[in-house]
């Protein structure tokens, strides 16, 4: 499967808008809500596409044919895995939105010790739970063409990525870590106060929103490809933050990242 | 034998994944099931061993739309374990966060999820063409809820600033005043929403079970009280007793645990309608007038009236938020600042309780001496409502069958009932 990389404009003829489906897997639905949260632009956005399926917003059933699949949520069942494969086969472009779909996110926390977990919640696991598998990101099952990161996604970020998916663009996706953003924002570094912050290794792009509001980065955008974990652990040591705390904190949004399991 | 089977796979315009199954044989309603088919989400397992600071962040991911309620409920539980007394200003900001999620939730549910049923549309989007003013004002109300949550919590979904003991950030006085003015401007449309939903025809049915709501003397509480009341039984209890008073139990057709009153085995309803019944006298003046005009007065037992009750709460929330914002803009109106107060980590067990937009929300949490979670039990509104919803679906189906309704009409009315409950099926499985 080739990666579209934004270079294949979705046009089915001059008048036909790209047909879009939105599917939700294991998630809080917050990222789908964030799509509706572009209220001021919602009609403009919807005016460019032909939404064929969106269970959250419409009772129309899922069609056989479409151009773009937007997927929210982590894959946590065999049914979800089949659905993702079907979406990939039918869609020309697949967009994964939110931490759950891009890094397995919070659902991914259950991947460690997955076998014992259902019994910690249910005495007998109900059949309605489906055939459970260890949580994984959409990109761990099929090729993903575009990602909208963060938990939850930023509404305008989604519009931006959708534009790229629809019309193509050369825009490069940032891979740097968050720390540079705080320097530019001139915000005080948490490490100076002996407080752990995951901006050290987390992919930039949100503008360091949490840090700007007085909270350390929790890593929801996932590990940056440029992250140097060994160096980050050493930095923690210099500021009196136990490296074990750093490793524990990374489990929140990066549990299923092979790099954390020594798979570098 | 004539057999009618209604099977709605993946019911639309609700949050989460659920199927409805109704089987009617020779005019007798045999099977009524609300299948919650969410994959197990295992939150109660995932938070085990995590430090208390992380727990509200994790728990808020149970639900995008009531994330603010999950955060506040968790903070209340943790603070009770540690013996933290937040300031009045912090409490006011938490109320604002919860009200912000009311505006978001009720506007989304009423207009995006419920209204298309009554307007004969598959979704809200055709409304953009048929009634652009209604469409725009409905979205504007939802946007105002988002703005409030963003100003107070840092973003519209999954708040950032609310932490144990207080808030890490606050907006400037002028921004509070600007928010208050926007609340005032939105009121007229919210009152129109009450009228709109009053005029939608609904079947006259009486809910099967009891009702549960937070109560407080002289108030319409959303986060300020620890008392819960079963309205019909008249039984009141403290939030710490929730797991004794409410019995969760598994059913094979649902990934959500169902809930019932432990003492009587009765199902119950929780949500806007239960709150309006419990605290009607303490609605604000505008909301009370709108409720009275719409014929919503306690005791109101028709679950379809939950839509009207939510619209009334929109009016109420706007008035309360406007007043709160104006007070927060005054330098000395509240005792204390919102910066987190100092506290010491200690072991213990407690239950946090709020009225989330969809009803009573309990988080029971046990922490060890290092503040790590030993045990967590979360009881969401929808998990509490499922059993009562099934009972009401049966009542409705029997009524419609007796009236000789066609299959498609039975299906549509049942779907409308499910949506009137405003279920969050993803929340119900946690």
The CATH code of the domain that includes A56 is: 3.40.50.700
Which pairs from B404-408 meet CB under 8 Å and 24+ separation? B407/B4, B407/B6
Q: Does B10 touch chain A (CB under 8 A)?
A: yes
Contacts of B126 (CB under 8 A, 6+ apart): none
Question: Percentage of chain A surpassing pLDDT 90?
Answer: 67
* Chain A: closest CA distance from residue B33 (Å): 12
Contact flag B125-A58 (C-beta cutoff 8 Å): yes
Nearest CB to B157: which of A30, A59, A209?
A: A30
Question: Percentage of chain B surpassing pLDDT 90?
Answer: 88
Dihedral pair phi/psi, residue B74, rounded to 5°: -65, -45
Confidence of residue A61 (pLDDT cuts 50, 70, 90): confident
Chain A residues whose CB is inside 8 A of the B373 CB are none
Confidence of residue A173 (pLDDT cuts 50, 70, 90): confident
Specify if B377 maps to a domain. Answer: yes
Q: Supply the CATH number for residue B49's domain.
A: 1.10.645.10
Q: List the domain range (segments joined by +) for residue A187.
A: 179-254
* The total number of structural domains that make up chain A: 2
Dihedral pair phi/psi, residue A120, rounded to 5°: -80, -15
**Whole-number pLDDT of residue A262:** 58
* Chain A: closest CA distance from residue B354 (Å): 19
Interfacial A residues in 122-141 facing B (CB < 8 Å) = 122-130, 132
Cα–Cα dist B289/A135, whole Å: 50
Q: List the domain range (segments joined by +) for residue B75.
A: 10-14+37-428
Specify if B20 maps to a domain. Answer: no
Q: Domain ends where: A167, A192, A216?
A: A167
Contact flag B46-A106 (C-beta cutoff 8 Å): yes
Spans of chain B below 50 pLDDT: none
A42-54: pLDDT as tens digits: 778 878 888 888 8
Query: Taking 60 as the threshold, does the pLDDT of residue A57 lie above it?
Result: yes
**Whole-number pLDDT of residue B12:** 87
Chain A residues whose CB is inside 8 A of the B64 CB are 27-34, 152
Cα–Cα dist A197/A232, whole Å: 10
| One domain for residues A90 and A200 | no
Neighbours of A240 (CB within 10 A): 9
**Whole-number pLDDT of residue A16:** 77
Specify if B421 maps to a domain. Answer: yes
| One domain for residues A38 and A144 | yes
Contact B75, B52 (CB under 8 A): no
**Whole-number pLDDT of residue A263:** 45
Average pLDDT value over all residues in chain A: 88
Closest-CA residue of B relative to A76 is: B39
B155-206: pLDDT as tens digits: 999 999 999 999 999 999 999 999 999 999 999 999 999 999 999 999 999 9
Specify if B115 maps to a domain. Answer: yes
Specify if A261 maps to a domain. Answer: no
Size of interface A-B (CB pairs under 8 A): 177
Cα–Cα dist B46/B49, whole Å: 8
Neighbours of B1 (CB within 10 A): 4
Nearest CB to A59: which of B61, B122, B128?
A: B122
pTM, two decimals, is: 0.94
A202-228: pLDDT as tens digits: 999 999 999 999 999 999 999 999 999
**Whole-number pLDDT of residue A99:** 98
Chain B residues whose CB is inside 8 A of the A56 CB are 12-13, 15
Specify if B91 maps to a domain. Answer: yes
Q: Write the ipTM.
A: 0.90
B106-132 in b/e burial notation, b at 16+ Cβ within 10 A? Answer: bbbbbbbbbbbbebeeebbbebbeeee
Contact B319, B183 (CB under 8 A): yes
Contact flag A36-B44 (C-beta cutoff 8 Å): no
Contact A20, A50 (CB under 8 A): yes
**Whole-number pLDDT of residue A113:** 87
* CA distances from residue B62 to A219, B11, B23, B90, B425 in whole angstroms, order as listed: 18, 20, 32, 24, 10
């Amino acid at each position: 499967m080739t990666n579209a990389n934004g270079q294949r404009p979705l046009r089915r003829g001059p008048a036909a808008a790209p047909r879009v489906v939105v599917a939700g897997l294991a998630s809080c639905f917050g990222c789908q809500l964030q799509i509706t949260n572009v209220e001021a632009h919602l009609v403009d956005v919807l005016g460019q596409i032909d939404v064929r399926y969106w269970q959250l917003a419409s009772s129309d059933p899922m069609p056989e044919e479409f151009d773009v699949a937007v997927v929210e949520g982590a894959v946590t069942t065999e049914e979800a895995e089949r659905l993702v494969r079907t979406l990939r086969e039918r869609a020309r472009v697949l967009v994964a939105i939110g931490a759950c779909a891009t890094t397995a996110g919070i659902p991914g926390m259950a991947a460690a010790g997955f076998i014992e977990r259902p019994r910690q919640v249910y005495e007998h696991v109900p059949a309605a739970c489906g055939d459970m598998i260890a949580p994984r990101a959409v990109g761990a099952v099929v090729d993903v063409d575009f990602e909208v990161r963060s938990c939850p996604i930023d509404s305008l970020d989604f519009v931006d990525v959708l534009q790229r998916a629809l019309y193509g663009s050369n825009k490069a996706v940032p891979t740097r870590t968050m720390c540079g953003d705080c320097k530019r924002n001139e915000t005080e570094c948490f490490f100076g106060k002996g407080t752990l912050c995951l901006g050290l290794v987390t992919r930039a792009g949100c503008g360091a929103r949490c840090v700007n509001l007085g909270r350390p980065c929790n890593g929801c955008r996932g590990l940056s490809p440029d992250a140097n974990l060994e160096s980050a652990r050493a930095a923690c040591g210099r500021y009196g933050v136990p490296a074990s705390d750093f490793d524990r904190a990374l489990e929140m949004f990066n549990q299923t990242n092979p790099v954390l399991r020594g798979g570098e | 034998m004539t057999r009618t089977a209604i099977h709605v796979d993946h019911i639309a315009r609700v949050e989460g994944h659920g199927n409805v199954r109704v089987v009617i044989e020779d005019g007798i309603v045999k099977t009524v099931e609300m299948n919650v088919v969410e994959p197990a989400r295992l939150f109660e397992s995932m938070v085990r061993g995590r430090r208390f600071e992380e727990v509200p962040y994790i728990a808020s991911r149970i639900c995008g739309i009531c994330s603010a309620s999950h955060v506040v409920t968790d903070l209340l539980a943790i603070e009770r374990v540690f013996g933290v007394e937040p300031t009045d200003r912090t409490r006011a900001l938490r109320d604002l966060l919860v009200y912000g999620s009311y505006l978001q939730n009720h506007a989304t549910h009423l207009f995006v999820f419920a209204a298309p049923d009554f307007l004969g549309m598959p979704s809200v989007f055709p409304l953009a063409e048929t009634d652009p003013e209604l469409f725009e004002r409905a979205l504007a109300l939802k946007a105002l809820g988002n703005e409030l949550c963003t100003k107070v919590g840092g973003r519209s979904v999954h708040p950032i600033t609310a932490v144990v003991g207080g808030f890490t950030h606050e907006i400037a006085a002028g921004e509070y005043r600007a928010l208050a003015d926007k609340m005032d401007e939105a009121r007229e449309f919210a009152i129109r929403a009450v009228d709109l939903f009053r005029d939608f025809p609904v079947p006259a049915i009486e809910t099967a079970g009891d009702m549960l709501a937070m109560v407080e003397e002289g108030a319409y509480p959303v986060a300020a009280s620890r008392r819960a009341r079963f309205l019909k039984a008249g039984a009141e209890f403290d939030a710490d007793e929730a797991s004794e008073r409410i019995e969760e139990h598994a059913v094979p057709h649902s990934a959500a645990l169902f809930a019932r009153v432990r003492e009587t085995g009765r199902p119950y309803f929780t949500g806007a309608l239960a709150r309006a019944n419990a605290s009607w006298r303490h609605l604000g003046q505008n909301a009370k007038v709108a409720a009275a005009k719409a014929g919503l007065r306690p005791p109101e037992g028709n679950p379809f009236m939950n839509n009207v009750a939510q619209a009334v709460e929109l009016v109420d929330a706007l008035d309360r938020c406007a007043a709160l914002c104006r007070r927060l803009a005054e330098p000395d109106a509240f005792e204390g600042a919102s910066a987190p107060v100092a506290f010491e980590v200690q072991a213990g067990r407690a239950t946090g309780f709020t009225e989330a937009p969809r009803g009573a929300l309990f988080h029971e949490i046990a922490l060890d001496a290092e503040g790590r979670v030993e045990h967590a039990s979360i009881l969401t509104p929808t998990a509490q409502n499922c059993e009562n919803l099934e009972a009401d679906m049966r009542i409705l189906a029997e009524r419609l069958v007796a009236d000789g309704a066609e299959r498609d009409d039975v299906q549509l009315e049942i779907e409308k009932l499910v949506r009137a409950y405003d279920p969050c099926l993803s929340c119900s499985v946690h």
